[in-house]
Structure 1
Amino acid sequence: MNKKIKKYFYKYLFLCGLIFVSKYLMAQITTNEVLPIGNRIENNFDQNVYTIAVPTHIYSLKNETSTKGEAWKFGEAIPLKIDLNQSGNWSKQDAQKSKWYMHIKAEKAISINLNFSEFHLSENAKLFIYNKDQKDILGAITQRNNKVDGKFSTRPMMGEDIYLELWVPTNEIENNKLSINQLIYGFRDFRSKANKSFNRSAKCNQNIGCEEGILWSDIKRSVVMITTVNNTRLCTGTLVNNVAQDSTPYLLTASHCNVATNSNFIFNYESPNPKCDFTNDTSNGLLNQSISGAISRARGVSPNPNLEFSDFHLFELSSTPPASYNAYYAGWSAIDTPSVRSTTIHHPSGDIKKISIDEDTTISTGNNTLRANTHWMVTDWELGTTEGGSSGSSLFDENLRIIGQLQGGDAACNNNAQDYYGKFAVSWDSLNANNRQLKNWLDPNNTGTLVMDGMDPNGINIQRDVQLLPLRGIPRFACDTFFTPSFAIRNNGSDTLTSVVIHLFLNQQKLDSVVWNGTLPSKNVTTFQGPTYSTTQGFHRLWAKAVLNNGALDQDSLNNSWQTEFFLTEQTKTLDFRLKTDDFGLETSWELEMDDSNKVMLYKGGPYNEVKGGETYLRKMCIPDSSCFSFVLYDAFNDGFNGGFGNGNVLITDVLGDTLVFENNFTGSKKTLRFCSTNASTSVNEVSNNDIYLVMYPNPIHAGDQLKFRGNDKILNIQLFDINGRLIKNGNIQSFQLPYDLSPGLYYVRWSDNIKGSKIEKLIVH
């Protein structure tokens, strides 16, 4: 199999191979009523019990094991033909009410669930489904579960007997249709598999209920877990607002998830008592808030059926989420602008709700589609990662708006790899057909709106609340002593905001107060820029707090502040950076940070393009003078850029051309190289290491001449490299003759003793 098969493909196959269900799962909207008073299982009707003819092969299925890539099965579908007219028993309960009763038996079944090919209930009809001991009752199911396609399904119920009762006003009987076409015969206990999704996601994922999720307390309520009709935990979706703000339950997910219209959409699956130390949770969430079924409205597939274009899929849920679900409709941006701080809220591996954060600017890319720039690339996650089950989850920008949905990627814990999100801006109207774009549904009146904030359909409990979003406009590092912060505030209250003050403190000292005046409706976000400030060199911490102007009381003061850290310096040195990738530059990334207690991140780079033979990238970087640094290389597939798919290298020199870093033997997942800006041609470890001191001469030299050395005779190995990092010759200190056919130019000589370290110097060949 090719090295570059994506990890998300493996994750997706693995996820689809598992079926997860729970005794708490309700794929229907119910009223949670008890059975009507006085009702019991009616033994006088049991002579008419509908007994399923169970195929004999089903009894042996329990002992079969699933191979890799096959689904774990708890049940087998058996065809049925049951309806209100030809099956069961009707009885009149009083002058106004009638009841239809049906008892289905599947001998030795561990559980039973039903699929309806026709399902329509009248205005006042109530359907109850329960098992023999009546410890598990599903009901009342009402007309709220009627769907356009007329289909319906139930969750599994334990036991070999299942009972149905339809209570309906006698004058509405003709307005009801129930046809059961399939029974799922449970031959394994699905509960043994149900809890295996809980705590299944990788340990670097953070619970949405932890501190990092406070900013997202509204938006998280828009995120749902999607399961199949057989309760396979499949993908993640997001309930989205529309310009009309009419609570139409549109849901955005990914096309490649292949979500069926009879899928289940589960709200608020998160831990009630989350652990925030990246260890296993002890409290699983409930799965009792769900909606079954949806209509496919638009799907972002490309004109080429083999490619996915922006990979979006927009559904309209079969019913509006009840007020008890406390659902939220997320905002979005159809403007093709990168996010400077990105967040996703998702269900990795079908686990409870998690949050992942990327603090770098997203990169526009194509992700192997017919068009370039159809996706946003998250280069790596600072918090968390994504997994199977995360597919379809929304990418939110720094203003809490959706800008894309997850198609896939290589990201995993600790691998500094990337993820790809189909752009919301591309999905908006790049394809003309109504069923191939978002615009027709989210802006049905063609108002031209391109940015929409979220909406809370249940009303807002507080009147006045300003929320300060993460500070922006201040880089981690800059080669001057000036900075210009930008601010974003969100109105979390019901009252329109007209004036807010941002109080700024630099290193715990009052810096300034910035006033914003304007009009900010409920749940909307606005941004504005502050003044430019000058300060001293060094490490700084800026703390900001937003307060309502004119002495008005903010009713939630816990979301009013934010802080950021940064490093400024005027005493700098300029570096020349050159990196050559192998064939798979997409795997390569790097970081340059201060090698001190603050570990200030100065620069990051990668990933790069995938080009046969590799590509060379050049850039200049300013760094603090008289300082030491760590340069860290990463490879997402753990084989470096010298692992058999080309010969990559990296070279960092100062303005005099002296070598600070040279590496052409990177064959793992991570390699750290240290150097100081005041000591060219050496690493930090080599500065104090006189044991590898050596002088080489003559320099310059001619091809074919003998290169001589004077100094430490313990040096074991001499290597000659060209400017592209290609090894030209191996030798030793006693005899090192240059090849006669060596072309004139710049070369590098490395010597080492395999214990104390190595040293590199330039060699000029005439």
Structure 2
Amino acid sequence: GIQVQKRLFVYLLSVLLLYIPDVFAQISEGGIPPSFNYGQNLMLRRAIEKTEVPVDFYIEDLREVDNWRAREGVPMPVATLIPVDYTVENAGSWTTLPGGERIWRLQLKAADAVAIMLYYKDFYIPEGGKLFIYSADKSQLLGAYTNKTHPSGGLFATEFIGGDELTLEYAVSEISEEKPRIHISEIGYGYNTSALKTYCGVSTLRSSGSCMVDINCEEGDAWQNEKKGVCHTVQRIGGKSYICTASLMNNTAEDFKPLILTARHCAYDGSNVADSSDMEQWAFYFHREREACGHSLHTVEKTITGCKLLVNTGTEGGSDGMLLLLNKMIPEEYDVFYNGWDRRNSPASSGVCIHHPAGDYKKISTYGTPARETTFQSTEFSGLKNAHWNVTFQKTVNGHGVTQEGSSGSPLYNENKLVVGTLTGGNSTCIYTNGLNLYGKMSFHWDKYNAESAHMDEWLDPVGSGVETLAGRYRGVIKPAPTHVKAVNQGRTVSLTWGAPQSAEAPVFYNVYCNNQKIGAVGILSFIDEEPEAGSLVYSVSAVYADGEESPFVSTTLSFVKFKAPSDLRAVRTASSNNVELNWNTPVYEQTIYWGTMDLRYSVGFESKSPFYYGQKWSSEEIAPLNEKTIKAVRFIPIEKNVYEIYISQGDRTYRQPLESSSLTYSNSDIFSGINTVMLDEPFTIDGSRSLIVSIYISHAGSDYPAVCDDGPVVDGKGNLYSFNGEDWDTFYDEEDPGESNYNAVIAAVISSEHGTLSGNDDKRILKGASGMVFDAGLVKPRAVKASVYGTSGYVPGSMPAAFPELTKYRIYLNGRSENPRDVDGSETTYTDVNPYNSFYEITAFYGDFESEKSNRAEITIVDTEHVDGSVDIYPTSFSGSVYLKGYDVVTRVDVISVSGKACLVVNRPGEID
């Protein structure tokens, strides 16, 4: 049956000889043991004898075995179980207190244990009876356990008490003659010091890594509902206890059935799987968190014991999912949240993981780049292909949350605050923060397996609605949410508006979030985001009511472009004139286009190490938005021992650039170390009416696998091209063996918004005979290679070409005043103003109705007439890292050339040059 455990920490105030519960106590029936009322009564101290628990093992031996099994994918062990046989009848002693109360006490000592947890073969408290458990120094107190705790009796477990001694104290009922059944069958000997620190009554200790972020830091502001559905678990598997994380789930019947989602491997110890009797003694801790960010005090924990297995999706060849059912409904006063879910096979663009790393108080890890589809592999087992998501967590204000042992089974939330996966494992740490974090997909947990016992759909969608997503909720009445949220790009800011909830109860204020990070709280129906970041922004608004309850979020998505201002504004007036000549540089934008994911996975080659081209292609319709824009760089991965060239073609318009080995950073054949960005010697102008191929030519193949590819899925005919002559192109994809050719070439083009000039044939460096080589070589089976840097671009078709913002005009401001500004056509980069005064200028760019930020402030520089006659001089300025250009107003361009003849810098209309 289910058990509701009571936890109460108290501290001895020796001066007053009173025991007062600490503010972070868990209290159900409450109260204190009767013996505490009599202080240091000598009779009481002599009346109880200590029972020594037999400890016939070495702790270091246990830890050595744990270190070995950690490589096998088992959950984090915290305690070993020592068989005992202690009952009210055969252990402890009975005492009558000075006030006439009758009590039974059993004092246990398990030498050198970090903490002790008790497992019961039978646990039953009569009506009116009370059981307390406390530490040797009485600083930690559990209870009172009453008849309501476990009314059916049978298997049970109580929580950890820190230290190697504890005392059970049972107070006899005054209303029932029934005897208690307290049969302790195992002592949970806690030996994992790092994981059990927080059970030792020292609230400042932490068991997780130093980079972890408390759930009640600002990173968790938007997740205060969802966190209440995440629990820490202590699970018995045979003769040991282990820890994981789990989440309480909503279902389409919304009947608040206590469904617990976690990882299947949390029931596996490397040799055995937890059976039904083990699960009767699993403990689930809700609300285990610190009161505030970095705070020493923690909140009141609510603990439930006992569950049954419903669904197991398997670890080997599966998605490592497990669905449990608690043995009894969760009391409404527990204030838990039933998390929502998303069973679609779509990568989350952003989100969080909420978890209990190493059993610590609840933490949050944040990711802002899309999840990537992958296959879990370890030394012990391999998951089903593409049944997991991998996410890379990011640095935030209060740390850089990752995952670690004890986080297993924790939920992965997407940008819509729905669970999309459960943690299987990874290799991220506080040192290696960019490591793997692999989550079994909800879409695979759902119904991807033949066995009915491996389907979660019948439990999470019991009404058979067929919905793909379900929102989370509380058990009580849901607070009304705002309506009709609208986000408008105002150029430099984003304006948000919404409607009031349709309810008689009015909110006190509204919380505003951007990408699930709180950015403000207002009492009106609008908000201005003054500092939006460029990219896809999800704005959410919730209503907060007088009782402190927050409504569900209402969201809208906006693709925000941060419009750039002109740069290098200069204002020059000759000493003999009142005319001020203004010059500036046009804003320049860049984008990178590619097909696939750019996530490094495979390397490929052809038999006999034949030279070949590999690349990507865009149709004229796809490339049209970039007409007359320029390719300025190409990105790819060179492998050592090979010689590469860049080759770009649009029909008869081609560009070829041999690459010197000294200009590249090579990866070896066993590990990919990173992507090279190679600048073109001359920008290539795009003709939007022709298809575009960007490729790499391997003119000399010194290794078997010289071309790097991603992990798919393939964008066939676009992302996976190869050729032997640069004219006739084929694809890597093999219809007869699609699983072995499901990848794209890792290559990308960097596009600038700068205009170029089209010509018939841009190729002035084609090597003689290079396009005439023809080979008949077979493709070597692709080789999977470990990548030392993992991309996080997600399961998407690529980064598509998009039109750059269109500049329509400039606006010139004098002395910072908004009155009477001068507007200039967007095609101009100069303006003459009549101004005899010492003033300063600023300029903005308009994109339709949207105005950019102001440019740099340009004070008027007065030049004498000798500079007007065309005399020019250039010399370095000491200590400034700059050069001074005398007479720069008559110079249209400066080229900086290295001693080897390479162009290092080009500056149009220069001023002072860094």
TM-score, normalised to structure 1, is 0.60
Deviations 1:178-236 (A, max 9, x none): 11122356789789955898374374x65543444333221122122334569977332
> 2:159 matched to 1:154?
yes
Contact 1:502 1:547 (C-alpha < 8 Å) held by counterparts: no
**Which of 238, 241, 244 is matched with 2:247 structurally?**
238
> 2:225 matched to 1:218?
yes
Relative to 1, partners in 2 of residues 1:559 and 1:399: Cα closer, same or farther, differing over 3 Å?
A: closer
Q: What SS is found at the alignment partner of 1:502?
A: strand
> 2:52 matched to 1:52?
yes
Rounded Cα–Cα distance in structure 2 between residues aligned with 1:144 and 1:762? 87
Deviations 1:365-400 (A, max 9, x none): 554799966624346445654443333222223322
Rounded Cα–Cα distance in structure 2 between residues aligned with 1:188 and 1:359? 34
Q: Which residue of 2 aligns with 1:36?
A: 34
Letter aligned with residue 452 of structure 1: L
Q: Which residue of 2 aligns with 1:726?
A: 701
Q: Which residue of 1 aligns with 2:178?
A: 173
Rounded Cα–Cα distance in structure 1 between residues aligned with 2:428 and 2:295? 27
Residues 91-106 of structure 1 mapped to structure 2, 5 A cutoff: 99-105=103-109
Rounded Cα–Cα distance in structure 1 between residues aligned with 2:42 and 2:249? 46
Contact 1:249 1:320 (C-alpha < 8 Å) held by counterparts: yes
Letter aligned with residue 422 of structure 2: Q
**Which of 244, 247, 258 is matched with 1:249 structurally?**
258
Contact 2:286 2:301 (C-alpha < 8 Å) held by counterparts: yes
Higher Rg:
2
Q: Which runs of 5+ in 1 are unaligned?
A: 1-21, 275-281, 467-498, 523-538, 570-595, 634-639, 682-720, 729-742, 748-758
> 2:650 matched to 1:666?
no
Relative to 1, partners in 2 of residues 1:597 and 1:359: Cα closer, same or farther, differing over 3 Å?
A: farther
Rounded Cα–Cα distance in structure 1 between residues aligned with 2:218 and 2:393? 17
Rounded Cα–Cα distance in structure 1 between residues aligned with 2:291 and 2:305? 27
**Which of 69, 78, 83 is matched with 1:79 structurally?**
83
Contact 1:253 1:313 (C-alpha < 8 Å) held by counterparts: yes
- Name the structure, 1 or 2, with higher relative contact order (CA <8 Å, separation 6+): 2
Letter aligned with residue 249 of structure 1: P
Contact 1:299 1:437 (C-alpha < 8 Å) held by counterparts: yes
Q: What SS is found at the alignment partner of 1:33?
A: coil
Rounded Cα–Cα distance in structure 2 between residues aligned with 1:190 and 1:245? 39
Relative to 1, partners in 2 of residues 1:431 and 1:509: Cα closer, same or farther, differing over 3 Å?
A: closer
Q: What SS is found at the alignment partner of 1:426?
A: helix
Rounded Cα–Cα distance in structure 2 between residues aligned with 1:362 and 1:107? 47
Q: Which residue of 2 aligns with 1:565?
A: 560
Deviations 1:566-587 (A, max 9, x none): 3799xxxxxxxxxxxxxxxxxx
Q: What SS is found at the alignment partner of 1:666?
A: coil
Contact 1:251 1:314 (C-alpha < 8 Å) held by counterparts: yes
**Which of 119, 125, 137 is matched with 2:123 structurally?**
119
Rounded Cα–Cα distance in structure 2 between residues aligned with 1:421 and 1:107? 39
Q: What SS is found at the alignment partner of 1:213?
A: helix
**Which of 383, 386, 389 is matched with 1:377 structurally?**
389
**Which of 419, 431, 442 is matched with 1:424 structurally?**
442
Rounded Cα–Cα distance in structure 1 between residues aligned with 2:444 and 2:63? 44
The offset of 1:242, in angstroms, is 2.1
> 2:661 matched to 1:657?
no
Contact 2:101 2:171 (C-alpha < 8 Å) held by counterparts: no
Q: Which residue of 2 aligns with 1:451?
A: 469
Q: What SS is found at the alignment partner of 1:679?
A: strand
Relative to 1, partners in 2 of residues 1:192 and 1:347: Cα closer, same or farther, differing over 3 Å?
A: closer
Relative to 1, partners in 2 of residues 1:746 and 1:64: Cα closer, same or farther, differing over 3 Å?
A: closer
Moved more, 438-447 or 65-74: 65-74
Q: Which residue of 2 aligns with 1:283?
A: 295
Relative to 1, partners in 2 of residues 1:197 and 1:438: Cα closer, same or farther, differing over 3 Å?
A: farther
Deviations 1:713-745 (A, max 9, x none): xxxxxxxx96376149xxxxxxxxxxxxxx994
Q: Which residue of 2 aligns with 1:183?
A: 187
Residues 399-478 of structure 1 mapped to structure 2, 5 A cutoff: 399-409=416-426, 419-431=437-449, 435-446=453-464, 448-457=466-475, 459=477, 463-466=479-482
Q: Which residue of 2 aligns with 1:300?
A: 312
Q: Which residue of 1 aligns with 2:283?
A: 264
Deviations 1:525-568 (A, max 9, x none): xxxxxxxxxxxxxx97898977899xxxx997997787653379
Relative to 1, partners in 2 of residues 1:166 and 1:597: Cα closer, same or farther, differing over 3 Å?
A: farther
Relative to 1, partners in 2 of residues 1:228 and 1:206: Cα closer, same or farther, differing over 3 Å?
A: same
Rounded Cα–Cα distance in structure 1 between residues aligned with 2:549 and 2:53? 63
Rounded Cα–Cα distance in structure 1 between residues aligned with 2:336 and 2:64? 37
> 2:145 matched to 1:141?
yes
Moved more, 180-189 or 292-301: 180-189
Letter aligned with residue 32 of structure 2: V
Relative to 1, partners in 2 of residues 1:94 and 1:191: Cα closer, same or farther, differing over 3 Å?
A: same
Give the CA RMSD over aligned residues.
5.6
Q: What SS is found at the alignment partner of 1:658?
A: strand
Moved more, 154-163 or 366-375: 366-375
> 2:408 matched to 1:396?
no
Deviations 1:426-458 (A, max 9, x none): 322344655432233334454555432111135
Q: What SS is found at the alignment partner of 2:227?
A: helix
Q: What SS is found at the alignment partner of 1:171?
A: coil
Letter aligned with residue 387 of structure 2: H
Relative to 1, partners in 2 of residues 1:540 and 1:134: Cα closer, same or farther, differing over 3 Å?
A: closer
Q: How many residues of Structure 1 are paired with residues of Structure 2 in the alignment? A: 578
Contact 2:195 2:358 (C-alpha < 8 Å) held by counterparts: no
Contact 1:231 1:264 (C-alpha < 8 Å) held by counterparts: no
Rounded Cα–Cα distance in structure 2 between residues aligned with 1:187 and 1:393? 24
Rounded Cα–Cα distance in structure 2 between residues aligned with 1:649 and 1:27? 67
Letter aligned with residue 726 of structure 1: A
Letter aligned with residue 665 of structure 1: Y
Rounded Cα–Cα distance in structure 1 between residues aligned with 2:107 and 2:147? 22
Q: Which residue of 2 aligns with 1:500?
A: 484
Letter aligned with residue 216 of structure 1: W
Rounded Cα–Cα distance in structure 2 between residues aligned with 1:181 and 1:366? 42
Rounded Cα–Cα distance in structure 1 between residues aligned with 2:337 and 2:559? 29
Identity in percent: 21
Q: What SS is found at the alignment partner of 2:561?
A: strand
The offset of 1:407, in angstroms, is 2.3
Deviations 1:472-499 (A, max 9, x none): xxxxxxxxxxxxxxxxxxxxxxxxxxx5
Q: What SS is found at the alignment partner of 1:441?
A: helix
Contact 2:630 2:684 (C-alpha < 8 Å) held by counterparts: no
Letter aligned with residue 153 of structure 1: T
The offset of 1:246, in angstroms, is 3.0
Q: What SS is found at the alignment partner of 1:307?
A: coil
Q: What SS is found at the alignment partner of 2:474?
A: coil
Letter aligned with residue 130 of structure 1: Y
The offset of 1:152, in angstroms, is 1.2
Contact 1:126 1:168 (C-alpha < 8 Å) held by counterparts: yes
Rounded Cα–Cα distance in structure 2 between residues aligned with 1:511 and 1:95? 70
Deviations 1:56-93 (A, max 9, x none): x56x7579984843799997654321123344455789
Contact 1:31 1:139 (C-alpha < 8 Å) held by counterparts: yes
Contact 1:376 1:420 (C-alpha < 8 Å) held by counterparts: yes
Deviations 1:309-350 (A, max 9, x none): 121111233555555653211111334444444433233455
Letter aligned with residue 294 of structure 1: G
The offset of 1:308, in angstroms, is 4.5
Q: What SS is found at the alignment partner of 1:425?
A: helix
Q: What SS is found at the alignment partner of 2:221?
A: helix
Relative to 1, partners in 2 of residues 1:163 and 1:148: Cα closer, same or farther, differing over 3 Å?
A: closer
Letter aligned with residue 52 of structure 2: I
Q: Which residue of 2 aligns with 1:15?
A: none
Relative to 1, partners in 2 of residues 1:128 and 1:392: Cα closer, same or farther, differing over 3 Å?
A: same
Deviations 1:152-188 (A, max 9, x none): 13313435462432443553625x4211122356789
The offset of 1:258, in angstroms, is 2.2
**Which of 586, 602, 606 is matched with 2:598 structurally?**
606
Residues 740-759 of structure 1 mapped to structure 2, 5 A cutoff: 745=725
Relative to 1, partners in 2 of residues 1:105 and 1:340: Cα closer, same or farther, differing over 3 Å?
A: closer
